[in-house]
Amino acid sequence: MTTVTLKVEIADDQVVAFVNSVQVASISGNDSGTHDLTPYLSSGDNQILIVGVNTEGRGHYKGSLDINGSSQLFDQSTTNGGLTWSQKYVVKN
């Protein structure tokens, strides 16, 4: 069985996670935290999308997506507003 954990250190303004097009986590306002995405996985291939949203000014998103203990790091900054960063992963379960 595959395990997937989203760890967010910085979410300015917001980091949102989707598994198979369903929103499963939202972290905002410089909050940090760990979110287990494993319960949302289906059998076969799963698409995981991590998105950074910035309302205005500077934005920063930092953390990792851990897949079976292997960390996929992200650390992105922006000065643009809107959906400013996204990363897609395909995970087999």
- pLDDT tens column, 62-88: 999 999 999 999 999 998 888 789 999
pTM exceeds 0.85, yes or no? yes
> Are the beta carbons of 51 and 18 closer than 8 angstroms?
yes
**Among the listed residues 65, 71, 75, the one whose alpha carbon sits nearest the alpha carbon of residue 12:** 75
Contacts of 50 (CB under 8 A, 6+ apart): 6, 15, 16, 17, 18, 65, 74, 86, 87, 89
pLDDT tops 90 at residue 5: yes
Residues 36-48: what's their mean pLDDT?
98
| Higher-pLDDT residue of 13, 42 | 42
Contacts of 22 (CB under 8 A, 6+ apart): 40
